[in-house]
């Protein structure tokens, strides 16, 4: 009988980066579990095993994106300069880079779905907002 080969799942960060790239290229409508699975070499079933739902995939992708921006944001806020200069740099970091900016597309989609989200997802969204609030206050 032919042997089945077992492929290890790609690192979660690779999946999240691919999801973000797909949103940037094709928008949210272009992000499907089947398409993302093909992109990273996993079945949509395996993706659902790891992420449970598309909403969870979107939230984890947003969290990943926020962590990446967080390091840059921290460096901006710590650098010398007036408060106004640091605030302007902060705003530049977060202003959408065009109408299909993937970070903002995700942000708006995740928050739009939050009314139907469970308590854990809402708490995770609040944690993202909390970081922004701490930075700006």
pLDDT of residue 68: 86
Q: Is residue 50 part of a domain?
A: yes
Total structural domains in the chain?
1
pLDDT band (50, 70, 90) for residue 31: very high
**CATH code assigned at 121:** 1.10.357.10
pLDDT band (50, 70, 90) for residue 33: very high
pLDDT of residue 61: 94
- 3-class secondary structure per residue, the chain: CCCCCCCCCCCHHHHHHHHHHHHHHHCHHHCCHHHHHHHHCCCHHHHHHHHCCHHHHHHHHHHHHHHHHHHHHHHHHHCCCCHHHHHHHHHHHHCCCCCCCHHHHHHHHHHHHHHHCCHHHHHHHHHHHHHHHHHHC
**Could you report the per-residue pLDDT of 50-85, keeping only the tens digit for each?**
999 999 999 999 999 988 888 888 888 888 989 898
Average pLDDT for residues 32-39, to the nearest whole number?
A: 94
Q: Is residue 6 part of a domain?
A: no
Q: Is residue 5 part of a domain?
A: no
Supply the range of the domain harboring residue 57: 12-136
Q: Is residue 95 part of a domain?
A: yes
């Amino acid at each position: 009988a032919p042997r089945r080969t077992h492929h290890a799942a790609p690192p979660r960060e690779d999946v999240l980066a691919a999801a973000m790239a797909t949103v940037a290229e094709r928008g949210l409508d272009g992000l499907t579990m089947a398409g993302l699975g093909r992109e990273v070499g996993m079945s949509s079933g395996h993706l659902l095993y790891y992420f449970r739902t598309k909403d969870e995939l979107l939230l984890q992708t947003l969290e990943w994106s926020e962590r990446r921006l967080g390091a840059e944001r921290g460096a901006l806020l710590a650098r010398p300069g007036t408060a106004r200069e640091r605030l302007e740099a902060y705003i530049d970091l977060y202003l959408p880079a065009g109408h299909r900016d993937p970070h903002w597309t995700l942000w708006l989609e995740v928050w739009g779905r939050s009314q139907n989200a469970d308590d854990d997802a809402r708490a995770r969204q609040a944690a993202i907002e909390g970081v922004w609030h701490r930075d700006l206050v």
